[in-house]
Structure 1
Amino acid sequence: MAASNDTILGVLILARHGDREGFYQDPTTYTATTTVITPLGTQQEFQLGQELRSIYLNASSPSFISGVNGTLVNQTQVYVRADAGGELGVIYDSAVALLQGLFPGNSNYTTDLANGTTVEGALGGYQYVPIESVEPNEDVSLEGYTDCNTFDDWTTEFYNSPAFLQKSNESAAFLSQLPPYLDGRPVTLENMIYDFMNVQFIHNAAFAKALPPTFLAQALALASYHEYGVFSSPQAFAGRTILPIMLSELESIANASNPLKLAYQSLAYKPFLSLFNMTGVAQQNPELAGIVNYAAAVALEVRQPSSGGEPVIRFNFKNGTGQEFVTYNFLGTTGDVPLSALVNHVNPALINSTADWCTVCNNTQDRGCGALALAASQASAAAVKANVGHHQRISPVGAGFLGAGLTLAVFLAMFGVLAFVGVLTVGRGRSKARSTGSKDSEEKA
């Protein structure tokens, strides 16, 4: 990363999970099977955390975040979210491992007791950083593409496009050579199973020895074409739903009255593809138009220029373990970009609430959409009834909140006092405790 005299106000980190066991996702809906993180995956994330610490929390670093407590974590300065959908425990566990490297155990993490003794935190002063587990059924921000009928329609359309059919024909000869290495799994460009090959190549010595030298790279190229085509479309739901919370975090960091210094989101690879397209990074840097590696990370620095003016954003990216962070141009320009320019560029495409998502995705049943539709119907009926009885119109109110609060709001709607608010990015969610064991998970490429 290039040094400058700017003040680093804070940073937003987006990091892909670490190495995991094999996993399959439906090529159209992207529903997934179960997988778990591996010891290698935890090491990859831990090392990424250490590198981020050396860059942003080391007082001698030129990119040290101004005002941050890099010794003992200040929970008002740090906000962490982890996707609890597709790869479930893998993504959450990756966040835990990264945070161990970012905020390692510290002997100063102690408390003095009334009896005069001093107690050090467990595990050598291990620092417990709250992680918000983002449950897809309650919050669509990190997996806006699943259960989305519009996304499924686009995926089918892409598979039937002349460009995809041409690519399928061009790759047919190579694909026909893969079955001996796939343990009976069928292979087509629609169902490009690079993930199986990659997992086996990392963990299965016999497979790695038998696979011809160029096959894994060729499979990755086809999978990248496939996945970038799906997630960089005009229906880039993975980016359109995560960007509102990203912008909120960047604006909070830029706000001098807000204590937030470091925001971190633990993700699958899909949002990266959408974001690279929506911000123009992939157009200016074609090598980024593809699947990112395990433990890949974007670091969006919020900088206050030494010359004054509004805060700017610097786009840094490293594509996995063993790679260095590189600064990339984006939004069709060179150098850092004013925060307002980023906001204005992506704002027209944003999906800002669950209610908006239900409409755009043409979904009236899943992820709370059915309850929202029912609430709106009941509120409308209550308004009509009140208008007839009192000659006074009562306007129905839109809805966006999910979970237990949603159930309560639906109940209140029966009495004419429904009051939902958009929930996707209007503020921080509550941190939830989660186990780190295996749950439903996935990936498709």
Structure 2
Amino acid sequence: MADKLLGVLILTRHGDRAGFYQDPKTYTASGTAITPLGTKQEFQLGQLLRSMYLNASSPLNIQGMNDTLVNQNQIHVRADAGGELGVIYDSAVALLQGLFPANANYTQDLANGTDVQGALAGYQYVPIESVEPTNDVSLEGYTLCNTFNDATTAFYASAEFAQKKNETSAFLAMLPPYLDGRPVTLENMYNIFDFMNVQSIHNADFAKALPPTFLPQVRALANWHEYGVFTSANLDGAGNIAGRAILPGIIANLRSIANATDPLKFAYQSLAYKPFLSLFNMTGVAQAHPELAGLVNYAASVAIEVRQPNDGSEPVIRLNFKNGTDASFVTYPLLGGSGDVTISALANHVNPALVNSTTQWCTACNNTQDRGCGALAQAAAAALASAPAAHRHQPISPVGAGFLGAGLTVAVMLAMFAVLTFLGCLTIGRGKGKARRAGTPSSKSDHDEKA
């Protein structure tokens, strides 16, 4: 049994937002905005996480983590800056205000003898890496992914989908009066649910007029629809692309937390709902608990704890999930087991399906143009074109082919690095984001710590 909590990785869905629309095939989304309710939900989630993991009297207290003024070496934060624009980033800002509230001890002595407190009564500016999908595919692996689009089209053309259409046609025919002209099709199910859900929260007249069973029925269909789109039976299936792209960063964070020489203790990623579906599917959680095979609520949170067993063996991980503001954290075993699993066990299970680089994503998504794939293709073509003519046209032995292949691989990689360096192209994982919040300097008492 684990007796020491080394740290935690937090994954959260954004808070309440205004409605938006996303293409039912490509999932290209229009912009939206976070609401005051959404910021409050995330702030309260941050407060809850603080009470659990940064409270010395809590049984889940992370030993050695600074719980007063943030130590930037101990925390790593990333936020998806894709289709829902500032909603996900703003959710991270609100959560971090609850996790690390303003601190009156955030002060500094100046040379003229005055003592200055930080702005907003000591507000703490925790750095947030803004993950732009055009620069980093890790948090939105499904965007502009041709194989994902093809898999979605195939799902819509399947016998399973046709059967569901037939079963639900009578119910869908009753929805147009409540949808403000939106297409009432099973393919458009998420947009139907999103409109009705947003209106039910923010429009009193709509909430009063909507029959009480309609929203739960629409939610159930949206759950089925989105799980069908964002999962695959095979780990390396196109439907799992959201999970396949985000898992390398998750595993890297978990390993950093488990590494006694690495200062990281708290990792946090602010996300859309899509990766949760793939993650629960790929880790066996949804299969064992079908209630998780669907949409997660606003401010839902996964907390993956890294624990050190009493016997000093390899650290293990434990997944806890809280489905929105009114729920509590519940532990769900990973990989079909009944208890904690090692990081190696998780990594070995998913490794064959992981998308670890932009190059792998371009191949997995059959894309030669977008998100840096065009630059990679040009670099490869340039490297091949620069190979000596004799190497390109003369037949060679299998042994010679092996040496030539190795040489061309090196040439291709060098050309790729040159082109990508020039263009400032993509990364996976801890890549550069366009926006980061300025860090909090150390306090007087922590002056010797790196901010």
Same fold (TM over 0.5): yes
> Which of the numbers 46, 50, 55 marks the counterpart of 2:47?
50
Cα separation, 2, equivalents of 1:142 and 1:164: 28
Report the AA paired with residue 214 of structure 2: F
Match of 2:348 in 1: 344
Cα separation, 2, equivalents of 1:357 and 1:372: 11
> Which of the numbers 332, 335, 348 marks the counterpart of 1:331?
335
Is 1:267 the counterpart of 2:271? The answer is yes
Match of 2:248 in 1: 244
Query: Do 1:372 and 1:400's aligned partners in 2 also have CA atoms closer than 8 Å?
Result: no
Secondary structure at 1:299 match in 2: strand
Cα separation, 1, equivalents of 2:432 and 2:54: 25
Cα separation, 2, equivalents of 1:8 and 1:78: 15
> Which of the numbers 112, 115, 120 marks the counterpart of 2:117?
120
Secondary structure at 1:98 match in 2: helix
Query: Do 1:355 and 1:399's aligned partners in 2 also have CA atoms closer than 8 Å?
Result: no
Query: Do 2:136 and 2:431's aligned partners in 1 also have CA atoms closer than 8 Å?
Result: no
Query: Do 1:368 and 1:402's aligned partners in 2 also have CA atoms closer than 8 Å?
Result: no
Moved more, 303-312 or 202-211: 303-312
Task: Tell me the CA shift for residue 283 of structure 1.
Answer: 0.6
Query: How has the CA–CA distance of structure 1 residues 51 and 231 changed in structure 2, closer, same or farther, with 3 Å as cutoff?
Result: same
Deviations 1:163-206 (A, max 9, x none): 11111111111111100111121211110110000000000000
Is 1:110 the counterpart of 2:107? The answer is yes
Task: Tell me the CA shift for residue 402 of structure 1.
Answer: 9.7
Deviations 1:249-272 (A, max 9, x none): 100000000000000000000000
How many residue pairs get matched? 418
Cα separation, 2, equivalents of 1:118 and 1:431: 34
Query: Do 1:19 and 1:44's aligned partners in 2 also have CA atoms closer than 8 Å?
Result: yes
Query: How has the CA–CA distance of structure 1 residues 401 and 143 changed in structure 2, closer, same or farther, with 3 Å as cutoff?
Result: farther
Task: Tell me the CA shift for residue 362 of structure 1.
Answer: 0.7
Is 1:220 the counterpart of 2:219? The answer is yes
Match of 1:208 in 2: 207
Match of 1:433 in 2: 435
Query: Do 1:83 and 1:267's aligned partners in 2 also have CA atoms closer than 8 Å?
Result: yes
Is 1:406 the counterpart of 2:420? The answer is yes
Secondary structure at 2:386 match in 1: helix
Cα separation, 2, equivalents of 1:328 and 1:401: 46
- Cα RMSD of the aligned pairs, angstroms, is 2.3
Query: Do 1:315 and 1:327's aligned partners in 2 also have CA atoms closer than 8 Å?
Result: yes
Cα separation, 2, equivalents of 1:97 and 1:156: 37
Query: How has the CA–CA distance of structure 1 residues 378 and 206 changed in structure 2, closer, same or farther, with 3 Å as cutoff?
Result: same
Report the AA paired with residue 226 of structure 2: E
Match of 2:408 in 1: 395
Secondary structure at 2:18 match in 1: coil
Match of 2:444 in 1: none
Task: Tell me the CA shift for residue 406 of structure 1.
Answer: 1.2
Cα separation, 1, equivalents of 2:2 and 2:282: 29
> Which of the numbers 132, 138, 160 marks the counterpart of 2:129?
132
Query: Do 1:372 and 1:399's aligned partners in 2 also have CA atoms closer than 8 Å?
Result: no
Cα separation, 2, equivalents of 1:400 and 1:288: 44
Moved more, 271-280 or 105-114: 105-114
Cα separation, 2, equivalents of 1:74 and 1:386: 58
Deviations 1:12-68 (A, max 9, x none): 000000000010000000001110000000000000000000000111110011111
Task: Tell me the CA shift for residue 431 of structure 1.
Answer: 5.2
Moved more, 303-312 or 245-254: 303-312
Task: Tell me the CA shift for residue 401 of structure 1.
Answer: 11
Match of 2:369 in 1: 365
Report the AA paired with residue 152 of structure 1: N
Cα separation, 2, equivalents of 1:54 and 1:336: 23
Q: Pick the structure with more helix per residue.
A: 2
Secondary structure at 2:127 match in 1: coil
Query: How has the CA–CA distance of structure 1 residues 403 and 53 changed in structure 2, closer, same or farther, with 3 Å as cutoff?
Result: farther
Q: Runs of 5+ in structure 1 lacking a partner?
A: 411-419, 436-445
Task: Tell me the CA shift for residue 383 of structure 1.
Answer: 3.1
Match of 2:315 in 1: 311
Query: How has the CA–CA distance of structure 1 residues 402 and 323 changed in structure 2, closer, same or farther, with 3 Å as cutoff?
Result: farther
Report the AA paired with residue 96 of structure 2: L
TM-score for the superposition, normalised by structure 2: 0.89
Report the AA paired with residue 37 of structure 1: I
Cα separation, 2, equivalents of 1:128 and 1:400: 39
Cα separation, 2, equivalents of 1:315 and 1:146: 27
Q: Runs of 5+ in structure 2 lacking a partner?
A: 393-399, 438-451
Moved more, 4-13 or 96-105: 4-13
